[in-house]
Amino acid sequence: MSKPALSSLHQALRKSFKTLENNQTVWKSVLAECSPLMVSLGNLAEQSRALSNVQISNTPLRDFPDLEDRLRFKLLQATDTVLGKLNEKMSSLQSVRDAISNQVSAVVQLFEQNTDSLDVLAVTERSATTPSIADMLEWLQDAERHYRQQYLLFGFVLGWVCVMLGVYCFSSTGVFRFLRRKTLLQTLRPDNISLLESAPKRWKSLESPSAEDCITDTLCKVSFFMESQ
Amino acid sequence: RLMCNAETVPSFTGQGFGWPSSFNATWIFGCCRSMKSLRLLSVAPSDRGSQRCRLGPGLMSALGLSLGSPLLVSVPGGSCLCTAWPRPDLAEGFLQMDLKCSSPSLMISHPPTHLSLDPDQLTPVPCSKLKGVKITVVVQSVDFKKHTPPRIVHELVKDMLKGVHVHKNHVINLEDFDTEVKYVVIESINPESASTGFITSKTGVEIAGIQTVRHYRSRLQDQNTVSLGGLDEVSASLREMLQLPLLYPGTLSSLGVSCPRGVLLVGPPGVGKTLLVRRVVREVGASLVVVRGPEVVGSRPGESEETLRAVFERARSAAEEGPCVLFLDELDSLCPRRTGSSAPENRLVAQLLTLMDGMDQSDRFLIVGATNQPDRLDPALRRPGRFDREVIIGAPTLQQRKDILSVLCTRMPVCPSVDMAELAQKTTGYVGADLSALCREAAMHAIRENSKQAICMKHFQEALKLVGPSCLRSSLGRTELSSVSWEQIGGLDEVKLKLRQSIEWPMMYPEAFVRLGLSRPRGVLLYGPPGCAKTTLVRAAATSSHCAFLSVSGADLYSPYVGDSEKALAQLFRQARACAPCILFLDEIDSLIGSRSNGQTSNSVHTRLLSVLLNEMDGVGLKTLERRGTEKILQAEGVEENHTEEQEVCNNDVMVVAATNRPDCLDSALLRPGRLDHIIYVPPPDEQARLAILRVCTKSMPVGADVCLEELATKTKLYSGADLENLCKEAALLALQEENMEASVIKQTCFLESLKKMSPSLTAQQIHSFYTIPLR
Amino acid sequence: MEGESGDITVASGNRKCSAVTGSARKIKDNAADWHNLMLKWEKLNEDGFNIAANIVNIRLSQRNQQEPVDESSSPPSSYSPSSPPSDAAGGAAELRDECCKLQDIIDKMVVVVTKMERLMTSQQGIQDLEEFQFGPEGRKFPLFHTWNTNQFELSSGVLWEAFSQELKLKQTVLQELAHTSTSDLCMVYLSCWLHQPFIPNQTRLTLEALLLETGHRPL
């Protein structure tokens, strides 16, 4: 095994963890911006459900004949706006994910180029300040998987809502970048409303602070390593 | 292959890396041990979804694996493709793998943990970047499948599959993503030359189809089917019925024939109706929606109907993915006969009828109902257009029982000495469920005795004592049959022989009777003075012929309600037929059924019971439900001729044995050939017989040396068997009385003393009358 | 005078806004008033929504309190009759206060809509004047960029129509809100108040067009 291979690998790992650290902050802030939007989405769903449950002609509002259609339209419009904003957030998240993915795959590639000079013993060697290469690669891959998974889930929660509502159709670039708008459907089916209602709950469970704990842990474990040199 | 030898170890340590000494020791130790076996542990939660396989670093270098090298692990039941990764604690001798990519069979049942693996079972495999994969996507809900545009699924799946090592025909588990997409089945990969590969963002993903998890799992379970014994014919006819409309709907519609909508399975409980449906549905490749009747019924008004509608909706949506069968188990509880009042069940029945009528040709699903009480179903259900066909499954015949037993025993370590045919013969009236309980019980016996032993006949014998045929449970005439051997009855050798001829032989050697063109007797009448062992004789006959034994006397059948007694008698015959061959013993038949000639009014209970009995013995009361054996469905052609023959055989298997001490009171219609055709006189014991009886009675008694049984036998003229038994008891009690509980032997004087106190229960006149009765 | 000024504006071109007088001046001022009134409406609507939400919350919490009390009143209980009335009384007082506040808001909205009506009549007056001056075809050259005077009148009509209808809806909501017990209907009232179904998004566009035409917004 060769020293230079090891040190260049360490350098690349250091860079990756730096990227991870920076992007974690971005990710967290974007998520924080998403929360109120998700809350509004839930509120709008609740309003839609209430409107469906009420027979306007049996209420004092019966004097306003086209009220129901108008209100429904307004609600859909508001939903549309919120979804549009969420879509923008999703693209920020995507760029975070891509940045991490690219960095990790670059490190893995570098490692693979040097496999011949790094045997199993060398990659499992660890000291008090420097975790082994195997450990660090593992953490990086786990982090990458974590963000890929989270992004996919957020996208899924949102994307499926959109699909079910028939609000958007999807572009072929990027999974949940819904760029082209379809015409708004004038009616929300009840099962769609319940879907809308459930979306914020799922979101809430996803963006719980503990989800990011693993990343924070990893960054703690490599803090000495990052400071060294 | 392993580098674990004396030379290599120092060379590693000599490189000056400052290994922790403990690590070195572990490595050497583990490396040597890894030659032997690896323990399979369950995957660490943090590794879930990572496709990593954790091994010791020593084993990794021994296998020439680098960090993240693809590795195929074969375990019993399948294989799993993972990437090699050293364990965090670097310990050897353990293996943990994430089942991200594994054979479908492992997907259903995870490999057992703590399994021992040989290092040979780990093979490094090359994984080049793939140009393309063809996959089937398995999603959670039908909704997702229906509403999501294919492009979205494609995008989603492609994103999920990125960076996964795949193996042809393996299943990729995507549950860790927690989306609607649960699994992906790799159908084929490009280039085809390899069987494994790595998916990058440039790999083309082609979706061959989308299925729901439910559908996929049911298809997977096809592969490990439980075989079904003894129901071949019924299952063939059922299969045909399902296959035609489900798989070739076009053919039927081109003929202008409407598909059948429903099939009703009728048969006693435990006969395998549910299993049959599951099995056939699997064979046909349809998906199954099961509803048990009671599940549907809810307490709130309208709830049951709602559930039923939801069930049909479920079947309809399942049918969109492929053929589907809606199975309504315990249909009788769901759909009882409607009564006049507006009971809630009526609405449920009406809802079911409406739903069945509402099914149109485009709904590609079929309804199968199962019940053991077809009479309780609403008649409106049993007409073409609803349940078009009815398949009747009876209790298994001898051959069928043998089939079932051999199927059940294939998975058990059964001693070769166990004769299935013999066992089948002894299990008359047992249905499939009983037989499986029997086998389980036998296995339990074997385990209790010695866990490693194969199951022998004696275990089955033990089990037979515990597990009775379920069709006889709570039957009217069910009696504890304490086995009585012929030897336990003293004397009466001639009668015994006759009984054997008429009861035991036809039951045990029916083929010999057929060979000689001998028609089997329908019934036997034993008559004779009371206390002369008529009942015991019948018990002995039943014991030796291994038949089911039902015994009733007048008191069992009498009921204050008009018509109840007749119903009970008919029911008794039905049960007897269900578990045929069977001996139906009517004790004190004179009290049960009188004679029509001796001046009783014609509508008395006796007369009505008599006519029921005559009907049943002639085989008139046979219901279609009780058919069994080879015949097919009623509508099928070419069945008529063997149908009648079947019925004949059926009824013949029930042997009616009646006993009376007043044969003069019996209606002559009962006594003609074809009904109670063998009439056997059980005489009071003569001197020789009395001696034999006394011997049997005193067998377990410590009799004094001075006791002369011969003398007693001569002195006990007109004593019946029961009297003699009583005499022995009295003598023993007397002995105890005289010697203050310390008697050890019974002396002759005791016998003589007690003989003096007793008087014979028979009279010469009585005996004479039996000889003079003009029977027939 | 008005005729002159009209000529002047036409002749002098309409780019210089500061110099406008007469009809153009009036129309421009009206546009600014429209803008201010609509802003004021939005403010009132926002305040009103908060009050309405309070009312609904009080209403629903009252109902939630009453339900368990109803159940517990059947078994003999000593304190339950005493404490809920005080609570309910407190709630009722609070409810009354909030309703009064909402009434105030509505009153202010009535004022706003009355002012809007006045703007509309003044617009009609200008239109009548123009007709008197230039005949039924109106003036040959537009006052500002492209609109003729009729279009100003039409757009203020549309705006007034929308707001007066919305005001009616809000008045209905005010009357019913405190008497509604079903949460769904409460929700509908609130969402009516919030989303203002009778003020479509075009109203905003109409106003912007008005402002653009009159030169309040740079082209």
CA pair distance C172, C177, nearest whole angstrom: 8
* Phi and psi based region of residue A211 (left: phi greater than 0; alpha: psi -120 to 50; beta: remaining): alpha
Query: Closest-CA residue in chain A for B91?
Result: A124
Residues of B with CB under 8 A from a CB of A: 12, 17-19, 46, 49-50, 52, 57, 60-61, 65-68, 85-86, 88, 90, 143-144, 147-149, 151-152, 155-156, 159-160, 162, 176-180
pLDDT of residue C106: 92
Q: Calculate what percentage of chain C has a pLDDT beyond 90.
A: 27
Are chains B and C in contact at 3+ CB pairs closer than 8 Å? Answer: no
Q: Which residues of B touch A154 (CB under 8 A)?
A: none
Q: What is the dihedral of CA C202, C206, C211, C213, to 10 degrees?
A: 130
Cβ-nearest to B152 among A111, A127, A170: A170
CB-based contacts of B36, cutoff 8 Å, min separation 6:
none
- Domain span(s) for CATH 1.10.8.60 in chain B: 398-472, 687-772
Query: A65 vs chain C: nearest CA distance in angstroms?
Result: 11
A7 in contact with C at a CB cutoff of 8 Å? no
The fraction of chain B above a pLDDT of 70, given in percent, is 82
A102: contact with C, CB 8 A cutoff: no
Highest mean pLDDT among B221-230, B534-543, B667-676, C126-135: C126-135
Q: What is d(CA A24, CA A144) in angstroms, rounded to the nearest whole number?
A: 11
Evaluate whether chains B and A are touching (3 or more beta carbon pairs less than 8 Å apart): yes
B472/chain A closest Cα distance in angstroms: 52
How far apart, in whole angstroms, are the C-alpha atoms of residue B34 and residue B119?
7
Which residues in B lie closer than 8 A to residue A152 (C-beta atoms)? 156, 159-160, 177, 179
Q: Angle at Cα B303 formed by Cα B301 and Cα B306, nearest 5°? A: 130
C172 to A63: CB separation less than 8 angstroms, yes or no? yes
A119 in contact with B at a CB cutoff of 8 Å? Answer: yes
C65 or B119: whose pLDDT is higher? B119
Which of B86, B162, B179 is the closest to A153 by Cβ? B179
* Averaged pLDDT, B378-396: 78
A53 contacts in chain C (CB < 8 Å): 184
Residue B402 reports pLDDT greater than 80:
yes
Query: φ and ψ at B389, to 5 degrees?
Result: -120, 150
How many residues belong to chain B? 776
For chain B, the chains sharing at least 3 beta-carbon pairs closer than 8 angstroms are A
CA distance B593 to B609: 6
Long-range Cβ contacts of C86-92 (<8 Å, 24+ apart):
C88/C62, C91/C58, C91/C61, C91/C62, C91/C65
CA torsion A167-A172-A176-A182 (nearest 10°) is -10
**pLDDT band for position B722 (50/70/90)?**
confident
CATH 1.10.3720.10 fits B398-472, yes or no: no
Per-residue pLDDT tens for A74-120? 888 888 788 778 878 888 888 998 999 999 999 998 988 888 887 88
Using the beta-carbon criterion (under 8 Å), do B177 and A138 form an inter-chain contact? Answer: no
Beta bridge partners of C59: none
Cβ-based contacts of A123 with chain B (< 8 Å): 67, 86
Which residue from C minimizes the CA distance to A63? C169
Domains in chain A: how many in total? Answer: 1
Of the listed ranges A8-12, A48-52, B307-311, C88-92, the one predicted with least confidence: C88-92
Residues in chain C with CB shorter than 8 Å from the CB of A75 are 191, 195
Interchain contact, A53 vs C184, CB within 8 Å = yes
Identity of the residue numbered B92: E
Retrieve residue B165's tokens: 């090592």
Fold category of B225-392 in CATH? Rossmann fold (3.40.50)
CA angle at C66 for the pair C61 and C71, rounded to the nearest 5°:
140
Reported confidence tier of residue B21, pLDDT bands at 50, 70, 90: very low
Stronger pLDDT, B267 or B597, i.e. the higher one: B267
- In this structure, are residues A36 and A220 in contact, taking their beta carbons and an 8 Å threshold? no
- Which residues on chain A are in Cβ contact (under 8 Å) with C201? 77
CATH code that applies to domain B38-124: 2.40.40.20
State the pLDDT at residue B771.
73
Chains with 3 or more CB pairs under 8 A to chain C: A
What confidence tier does B432 reach under pLDDT thresholds 50, 70, 90?
Answer: confident
Please tell me if residue A137 touches chain B, with a CB cutoff of 8 Å.
Answer: yes
Share of chain B above pLDDT 90, in %: 4
Lowest average pLDDT, out of B155-169, B541-555, B600-614, goes to: B600-614
Least CB–CB distance from A75: residue in C183, C184, C191: C191
pLDDT at C43 over 90: yes
Q: Determine whether the interchain pair B160/A152 forms a contact, defined as Cβ–Cβ distance below 8 Å.
A: yes
Closest chain C C-alpha to A42 CA, distance in angstroms:
13
Asked if residue C200 lies in contact with residue C28, where contact means CB atoms within 8 angstroms, the answer is no
C193 chain-A contacts, CB cut-off 8 A: none
A64 and chain C in contact, CB less than 8 A: yes
Question: Which residues in chain C are closer than 8 Å to A193, comparing Cβ atoms?
Answer: none
Which residue among A123, A163, A191 places its CB closest to the CB of B67? A123
- Binning chain A into helix, strand and coil, the percentages to the nearest 5 are 80, 0, 20
Q: Can you give the pLDDT at residue B248?
A: 72
- pLDDT-based confidence at residue B591 (cuts at 50, 70, 90): confident
Checking if the pLDDT of B274 tops 60, the result is yes
Q: pLDDT for B614-640, tens place per residue?
A: 877 776 555 544 544 443 333 333 333
Residue C39 pLDDT greater than 90, yes or no: yes
User: Which CATH number applies to B128-221: 3.40.190.10, 3.10.330.10, 3.40.640.10, 3.40.50.10330?
Assistant: 3.10.330.10
| A141 part of contact set with chain B, CB < 8 Å | yes
For chain C, list residues whose CB is within 8 angstroms of any CB belonging to chain A. Answer: 165, 168-169, 172, 175-176, 182-185, 187-188, 190-192, 195-198, 200-201
Instruction: List B115's β-bridge partners, or say none.
Output: B40
Q: What does the block give as tokens for A37? A: 């939007």
The strand pairing partners of B206, in sequence order, are B134
- Which residue in the set C172, C182, C198 is minimally distant from A60, CB to CB? C172
Q: How far is B15 from chain A (nearest CA, A)?
A: 10
Q: Give the tens place of pLDDT for each residue, B164-221.
A: 999 998 999 988 887 788 899 999 998 888 889 999 888 999 999 888 888 788 777 6
Please judge whether A54 and C191 are an interchain contact, meaning their C-beta atoms are less than 8 angstroms apart: no
For residue C30, pLDDT beyond 50: yes
How many secondary structure helices (H) and strands (E) does chain C include?
A: 6, 0
Contact A148 B159 (CB under 8 A): yes
DSSP H/E element including B221? helix B213-221
B198 DSSP β-pair partners: B129, B165
Is some CB atom of chain C closer than 8 A to the CB atom of A77? yes
Residue B772 has pLDDT above 60, yes or no: yes
Q: CA B90, B93, B97 angle in degrees (round to 5)?
A: 80
Using the Cβ of A173 and the Cβ atoms of chain B, whether some distance falls under 8 Å is answered with no
pLDDT range class, residue B241, cuts 50, 70, 90:
confident
**Between B241 and B95, residue with greater pLDDT:** B95
A37 neighbors A82 (Cβ within 8 angstroms): yes
ipTM: 0.81
Partners of B137 in beta bridges: B184, B210
C-alpha closest to that of B433 among B396, B383, B385, B458: B396
Q: Could you give the percent of chain A with pLDDT greater than 90?
A: 13
Interface contacts (A, C; CB < 8 Å)? 57
Mean pLDDT for C43-59 is 90
Any idea which architecture B486-594+608-619+650-681 has in CATH? 3-Layer(aba) Sandwich (3.40)
CB B453 within 8 A of CB B442: no
Q: For chain B, say whether A205 makes contact (Cβ under 8 Å).
A: no
The runs of H, that is alpha helices, within B655-720 are: 687-697, 709-715
Identify the burial level of B136 via C-beta atoms within 10 angstroms of its C-beta, where 0-12 means exposed, 13-18 middle and 19 or more buried. middle
Inform me whether the C-beta atom of residue A81 falls under 8 Å from chain C C-beta atoms. no
User: B182 is written with which tokens?
Assistant: 């649960």
Domain with CATH 3.40.50.300 in chain B: 225-392, 486-594+608-619+650-681
CB contact under 8 A, A63 and C191: no
| Amino acid C33: pLDDT | 92
Chains in contact with chain A (at least 3 beta-carbon pairs closer than 8 A)? B, C
Q: What is the mean pLDDT of residues B290-317?
A: 82
What would the pLDDT profile of C172-186 be if each residue is shown by its tens digit? Answer: 988 888 888 788 888
Q: Identify the CATH number of the domain defined by range B687-772.
A: 1.10.8.60
Give the residue-averaged pLDDT of A149-159.
77
Say if residue C82's pLDDT is above 50.
no
Q: What is the pLDDT of residues B93-128, one digit of tens each?
A: 888 888 889 888 887 776 666 678 888 888 899 888
- Give the Cβ contact number of residue B109 at 10 Å: 10
Nearest CA in chain C to A51: C188
Chain B residues within an 8 Å CB radius of A160: 144, 148, 180
* Tokens 């957020």 -> residue: A154
Task: Considering only residues B470 and B695, tell me which one the structure prediction assigns the higher pLDDT.
Answer: B695
- B641 token code pair: 């001729």
> Domain of A99?
2-227
In chain C, domain spans: 21-66+80-213
Q: What's the confidence (pLDDT) of residue B135?
A: 93
Cis peptide before C218 (omega within 30 of 0): no
Model confidence at C112: pLDDT above 90: yes
Q: Which of residues 71-90 of A touch B (CB under 8 A)?
A: none
Which of B42, B56, B50, B48 minimizes the C-alpha distance to B88?
A: B56
Could you give the 3-state DSSP secondary structure of residue B10? helix
Interchain CB contacts (distance < 8 Å): A and B: 79
